[in-house]
Chain A
Amino acid sequence: MKKERVVLQKAYDRFATRFLRPLVAGGDMEVGHPIGPGAIDHFVDAQPSDSSVTAAIWESLRLRIADVYEGTPRWTPGPDEIRLAAALHNLLWGSHPDAAGKRGARREVAEWTEQILAAVGPPATVENAVLRHAVVGRFDELARRDTAVSTWAYRHRFHGRAPPKRLVALPAVRRIRTEVSRVRFHDLPLGEEAEPLLEKFLRKTPLTIAIRPTLPRPAFRWHPEVIDVLQDVSLCRAATYAWVDDWPAIPQVAGAALGALAHARLDPPRLAFVVCFHYNLLLTFAHVSGTETAERLLARPGMGPEAQLFYGTLFSAFQAMDALRAPALPVPDSERAQILQFLGEAAGAEPIEAGRKVVEAAARGMA
């Protein structure tokens, strides 16, 4: 039994040092053996043998949290954060070259990942949500370093591995050319099992969904957990500014999410929050853009039906807001009228009607 604990602690040290620390602090991250469900119980209670690893994680988390939250939550990863990191590790294992073609093993690891994720509930507090986002929120920025070594006869590819030294020795004499490329997370071959798992994984960190609305997969949707976590003023502000930063892509993404609201079956107060969030987004956007609001508002590569629905909802929200209670757009009257005109022209009649229905449903929640 003691021997087993020693083995598990060694595995945890390896996980904390080579995976968890780079995940929050940057650097080279190693994805080795998958993490079994039996190891998790040890992982969530374990501490790294090297205290400098804890200090590095602590410091990086503090900086990451400061980006989105003004409070002072508990800064060390707790059981839920460890589980989420382990789940991400196992998802990444799906792209391991040694796992290619081993269906049985991949299926088994997918089950392990599902078990690990099932043990993670929705964040109980704002601090929990912030901490989860701080630990795994940058998952989409991960990239695998691939190396291609070309000789006069062959071209060797190494996926996420360094080429053997003998292969690249004497490059000038042997005319060896080495190319290093980065494969982004969303281009990694995680396997077909990963797709539903990735969505489950993200649902466990709703703040990440709110702050990264433009993730290519899974597409942004207004889940109840996302709305609940945005009830916090500080997090709502962080998300709003993130949306403003991502602007040219936002109308398309947000419009698609608005279009899917009918399937989300949100209760009226949550629906009301969604509309208020959009109006607040317009306020913040006007505040940031100043007199160029109207031009920036419609700076878009193309106008799909989703974007039209987005503009229609903004238009309807703008008209429906109680002038006495909701804050006015921080722009002059002339500019305000111009914005309304632009929104109306950009949306068109049908999206405005659809947006009006969304806003009316939300108004019942406000009442």
Chain B
Amino acid sequence: MLERVVLNQSRFRTPGVAPDARGVLLGQKGVLLIGTLEGVVRFLRIWSRDASLDDLAQLAIRRVTTPLGGHEMVVEFAAQSSYVLDRASAIARLLGGFAFTGTARHFVKYRDVAAPLGYDVAELLADPGDLALYHDAFQQAYRHEREIPLRELLLRLSPARTEEPQAPETVLVLAKKGIGPSLQGYLYRSGVAAGVSVVDRPARSAFGEGAERLHLFRIEKIPERVLALLRATPGIRVFSPVLDHVAVEVGHRHPVELEGCAGVFDAQKLTLFPGGGAPVEILDEIPPWTPIETLSSIDLRDPGLVPMYSDAGPIDRTAGARITVAVPARLAPSSAPWTKVVATIVPPRQIDWLRKLVYALPPSALQDFQAFLAPDRVVLWNPKGIDAIPLGTFYTAIGSDLFVPAGWTLIPHVDSAVLRRALGDETGMFYFFEIGEADGRPFAVRQSSFVPLSHRSVLPLASQTLVAVDAPAAEPAPPEVLHGPVGTFPLWGVPGKTVPKEGG
């Protein structure tokens, strides 16, 4: 059924094949016939240990059916060279499969020791179906049943438990919402260099409670003891990155070497493979990392971290003495351009101007502006910007609820979350720092006290109630005809019997 290709042979019955530089018969594609999906996974696993799956260009895994209804799996890929196909063929042989080459639908057996330059078919099948494979032991036509995307296959494979020889250099730690802040404090106190971010896990069901908020840490050079503690803590999963955007849980190994699958996963998303059969976590974007030290208090209250000495020798820690670098926050001029100007404080002398301006504002502005009326000032806040009202002192926002005068900034340059904590961390409060006020003493306004400016812009109006004219409620009854007196000669005396003459 197959004929061996001889050196310098130039004509072949198999369509779309030609000898390459080494004289090996090669089509544009290689096809591996492997009986089961497990065999395909094994092939990928073996291939990826020493080479990248990206070398198998245009890789397609298909389930095919024979005319008798049997199912088999085929792996198709671009035969870029006979070296690639040699390696694939060797692995397939190891797994009990066969390798073929061709271009469109007819694929002939790839070379082996019996025919070093490959095989050519003696006669093509009349009905090749979607795929016809020619082997020296059989020839078979197949129909495509469905394609299994490689990414889908990889996401469905669970990492298997294994023992890491040593702690990975970098780990990603996914912590539940309740544990995140404590873990952040623990890492900071332990002197571990880490970045943190908050990510949302999409809801897995429309009936669930929506997206779940998680803390994600990136820890460089994690100490063994910390790693062991984190792995043993419920609610925390530790991952070891295998690529920039793919990580597998520490102590587990994905069946396929994911290092060689960079092109399969979306580079804009973070894919985490947990062990124990848990579903794969795909985070919509790789989060920006914030160093945990910027989120922690700048007040070094723990004397245990600071060696405490005085001229007279070590200070007695039990006496409650402590050293601190905490400083009061204060306003300082800033040369940075004004951004997020979202509030203004109108002083009493400009209130009349504000009243006149209210007449001119469009309805959308009246609805968007939120006003807080204090006895000595009016605070206006509009998250979209306050360009429409050029009155008062403009304020820019730091974070979502701290406001400083435009052109000023707060020093020291700490994160807004730190400032909030210093202010008592009461939710639903807006804090405004004013120029000239005592340092670090902003005034606070409860957010719920703001109401739309439109609600404040009209005085009570006296109204006059008008009464509707009585209208017939229903269709009037149809008229009834009664005949008036006409007389014996009905047309006698009828006005307008004749049309009057013009001008008459």
Using CB atoms and an 8 Å cutoff, list the residues of chain A in contact with chain B.
1, 4, 7-8, 11, 18, 22-23, 25-42, 59-60, 63, 92, 95-99, 102, 105, 108-109, 138, 141-145, 159-162, 182
Contacts and interface: CB of A to CB of B under 8 A. Distances in A.
Interface in B468-487: 471-472, 475-487
B496 interface: yes
Contacts of B496: 8, 11, 35-42
A36 B490 CA distance: 12
Contacts of B504: 1
A105 B491 contact: yes
Given A32-B483, A32-B485, A142-B481, A37 B476 contact: no
Interface string B114-135: 0000000000000000000000
11 contacts: A11-B495, A33-B486, A33-B495, A34-B494, A36-B494, A38-B498, A59-B472, A95-B481, A98-B486, A144-B480, A162-B482
B169 to A, nearest CB: 60
B499 interface: yes
A37 B499 CA distance: 6
A142 B486 contact: no
Contacts of A7: 495
B482 A29 contact: yes
B488 interface: yes
Interface string B386-413: 0000000000000000000000000000
A60 B474 CA distance: 11
A26 B498 contact: no
A23 B495 contact: no
A108 B482 contact: no
Contacts of B424: none
A38 B500 contact: yes
A60 B481 contact: no
B490 A105 contact: yes
A109 B494 CA distance: 11
Contacts of A11: 495-496
B501 to A, nearest CB: 10
B493 to A, nearest CB: 7
B497 interface: yes
A142 B479 contact: yes
Q: Which of B475, B483, B487, B500 has the most CB of A within 10 A?
A: B483
B479 to A, nearest CB: 4
Nearest to B472: A63
Contacts of B477: 26-27
Contact of A29 (B479, B488, B490, B497): B479
B426 to A, nearest CB: 53
A142 B478 contact: yes
A149 B97 CA distance: 112
Given A96-B490, A145-B481, A38 B476 contact: no
**Interface SS of chain B: helix, strand, loop or mixed?**
loop
A253 B432 CA distance: 77
A98 B499 contact: no
A26 B498 CA distance: 31
Contact of A161 (B472, B483, B491, B498): B483
Interface residues of B, number: 28
A305 B475 CA distance: 36
B490 A159 contact: no
Nearest to B481: A144
B493 A143 contact: no
Contacts of B499: 37-38, 41
Given A35-B496, A105-B491, A29 B480 contact: yes
Q: Which 5 A-B pairs have the closest CB atoms?
A: A39-B496, A26-B476, A32-B484, A38-B496, A36-B496
Given A38-B495, A96-B490, A108-B491, A31 B481 contact: yes
A7 B496 CA distance: 9
Contacts of B490: 33-34, 96, 98-99, 102, 105
A33 B483 CA distance: 9
A178 to B, nearest CB: 16
Nearest to B476: A26
A250 B270 CA distance: 66
B481 A29 contact: yes
Given A11-B495, A37-B499, A41-B499, A25 B483 contact: no
Contacts of A33: 484, 486, 490-491, 493-495
Given A29-B481, A36-B496, A141-B478, 12 more contacts: A11-B496, A28-B482, A29-B480, A31-B484, A33-B486, A34-B490, A38-B497, A59-B471, A63-B475, A99-B490, A160-B482, A161-B483
Contacts of B498: 36-38
Given A11-B495, A36-B495, A63-B471, A30 B483 contact: yes
A38 to B, nearest CB: 3
A144 B496 CA distance: 26
A7 B495 CA distance: 7
A143 B482 CA distance: 9
A179 B484 CA distance: 20
B487 A98 contact: yes
Contact of B482 (A30, A60, A99): A30
B484 A60 contact: no
A34 B491 CA distance: 8
B494 A96 contact: no
Contacts of B471: 59, 63
Q: Which of B471, B476, B493 has the most CB of A within 10 A?
A: B476
Contact of A143 (B480, B489, B491): B480
Interface string B436-480: 000000000000000000000000000000000001100111111
Given A7-B495, A36-B496, A105-B490, A28 B480 contact: yes
A40 B494 CA distance: 12
A99 B479 contact: no
A96 B483 CA distance: 6
Contacts of B493: 33
Nearest to A29: B479
B484 A145 contact: no
Contact of A31 (B483, B487, B488, B495): B483
A8 B495 contact: yes
B268 to A, nearest CB: 37
Contacts of A109: 491
Q: Which of B471, B485, B491, B493 has the most CB of A within 10 A?
A: B491
